Amino acid sequence: MQLILLGMHRSGAAAVTRIINLMGARLGTSSDMIAASSCNSKGYWQRADITRLNEAILNSHDASADNTHSLCSAELLPSRCEREVAEMADVISALDIERPWILRDPRLCLTLPVLLPLLEAPVFVLIHREPLAIARSLRNCQASRTNAMQLLPSETALNSIADQSANEPDTAYYLALWEKYMTDALKHSAGQARRLIVSYDQLIADPMRTVNRLHTELFRLGTSGLRKLSLDEITACIDPSLRHHHVYPSQQHDYLNPRQQYLAKGLSDRTVLSGAPPELSPDAHDVLQRYAENRISDQADSALQISTAKKELDRCQRDLEQVNERSRQIFWLFESLEKEVTAVFESMTWKAGSIFRKGVLVATFCRESRITKDDIEEIFATARQLSPDWSWSSSPSAFGHFDQRSAIAPTERLAQCQRSLQVAISQNNQQLALLGSLEDQVSAVFNSMTWKVGTFFRRFILAVTFRREERITRDDIEELFARSKHLSFD
DSSP secondary structure, 159-181, as one string: HHH--TTSSSTTHHHHHHHHHHH
Contact 203, 15 (CB under 8 A): yes
- Amino acid found at 437: S
Grade residue 335 by pLDDT with cuts at 50, 70 and 90: confident
Task: Give me the pLDDT at residue 98, please.
Answer: 93
- Amino acid found at 141: C
Q: Check pLDDT > 60 for residue 167.
A: no
Average pLDDT over the chain reads 81
Q: Check pLDDT > 50 for residue 400.
A: no
More confident residue, 140 or 103: 103
* Nearby residues of 159 by Cβ (< 8 Å), 6 or more positions away: 170
Helical pair 171-189 and 282-346, crossing angle rounded to 10 deg:
110
Contact 157, 170 (CB under 8 A): no
Min mean pLDDT across 74-78, 174-178, 213-217 is at 74-78
Task: Give me the pLDDT at residue 368, please.
Answer: 52
More confident residue, 269 or 327: 269
> What is the Cα–Cα distance from 1 to 100, expressed in whole angstroms?
5
Task: Give me the pLDDT at residue 354, please.
Answer: 80
Burial class of residue 487, CB neighbours in 10 A (0-12, 13-18, 19+)? middle
Task: Give me the pLDDT at residue 320, please.
Answer: 85
Alpha helices in 190-237 (DSSP H): 200-205, 207-220, 231-237
> What is the Cα–Cα distance from 264 to 179, expressed in whole angstroms?
9
Residues 29-40 have a mean pLDDT of: 83
Bridge partner list, 33: 47
Task: Give me the pLDDT at residue 15, please.
Answer: 93
pLDDT tens digits along 258-273: 999 999 999 999 999 9
Cβ count within 10 A of residue 275: 9
How many Å from the N-terminal Cα to the C-terminal Cα in the chain?
71
State whether residue 346 is helix, strand or coil: helix
CA nearest 489: which of 427, 419, 428, 414? 428
Bridge partner list, 119: none
Largest pairwise CA distance in the chain: 122
Task: Give me the pLDDT at residue 405, please.
Answer: 42
Grade residue 392 by pLDDT with cuts at 50, 70 and 90: very low
Q: Check pLDDT > 90 for residue 150.
A: no
Left, alpha or beta for 428 (phi > 0: left; psi -120 to 50: alpha)?
A: alpha
Residues 137-160 have a mean pLDDT of: 64
Task: Give me the pLDDT at residue 233, please.
Answer: 92
What proportion of the chain, given as a percentage, has pLDDT over 90?
A: 37
DSSP secondary structure, 290-334, as one string: HHHHHHHHHHHHHHHHHHHHHHHHHHHHHHHHHHHHHHHHHHHHH
Min mean pLDDT across 32-36, 88-92, 103-107 is at 32-36
pTM of the complete model = 0.62
More confident residue, 195 or 294: 195
Contact 203, 240 (CB under 8 A): no
Task: Give me the pLDDT at residue 326, please.
Answer: 81
Min mean pLDDT across 39-48, 118-127, 352-361 is at 352-361
CA nearest 144: which of 273, 10, 330? 10
Task: Give me the pLDDT at residue 47, please.
Answer: 93
Contact 453, 357 (CB under 8 A): yes
State whether residue 44 is helix, strand or coil: coil
pLDDT tens digits along 219-254: 999 999 999 999 999 988 887 665 555 666 667 778
- Amino acid found at 223: T
Task: Give me the pLDDT at residue 82, please.
Answer: 92
Task: Give me the pLDDT at residue 425, please.
Answer: 83
Q: Check pLDDT > 50 for residue 391.
A: no
* Nearby residues of 397 by Cβ (< 8 Å), 6 or more positions away: 389
Alpha helices in 73-198 (DSSP H): 82-95, 108-115, 131-144, 155-161, 171-189
More confident residue, 277 or 423: 277
Min mean pLDDT across 179-183, 291-295, 354-358, 377-381 is at 354-358
Task: Give me the pLDDT at residue 482, please.
Answer: 80
> What is the Cα–Cα distance from 396 to 389, expressed in whole angstroms?
8
Give me the phi and psi of 406, to 5 degrees please: -60, 145
Bridge partner list, 198: 127
State whether residue 390 is helix, strand or coil: coil
DSSP 47: B
State whether residue 255 is helix, strand or coil: coil
Q: Check pLDDT > 50 for residue 165.
A: no
CA nearest 109: which of 68, 74, 167? 68
Query: What is the β-pairing status of strands 101-104 and 2-6?
Result: parallel
Grade residue 403 by pLDDT with cuts at 50, 70 and 90: very low
Q: CA dist 118 to 83, 86, 250, 282, Å?
A: 14, 10, 42, 33
The CATH code of domain 2-280 reads: 3.40.50.300
Give me the phi and psi of 123, to 5 degrees please: -125, 125
Q: Check pLDDT > 50 for residue 402.
A: no
More confident residue, 91 or 158: 91
Residues 192-209 have a mean pLDDT of: 93
Residues 306-325 have a mean pLDDT of: 81
pLDDT tens digits along 425-475: 888 788 888 888 888 888 888 887 787 888 887 777 777 776 665 555 777
State whether residue 198 is helix, strand or coil: strand
> What is the Cα–Cα distance from 490 to 487, expressed in whole angstroms?
10
Q: Check pLDDT > 70 for residue 305.
A: no
More confident residue, 114 or 399: 114
Residues 357-361 have a mean pLDDT of: 72
* Nearby residues of 404 by Cβ (< 8 Å), 6 or more positions away: 317
The domain locations on the chain are 2-280, 311-484
Bridge partner list, 101: 2, 26
- CA torsion sign, 449 to 461 to 340 to 478? positive
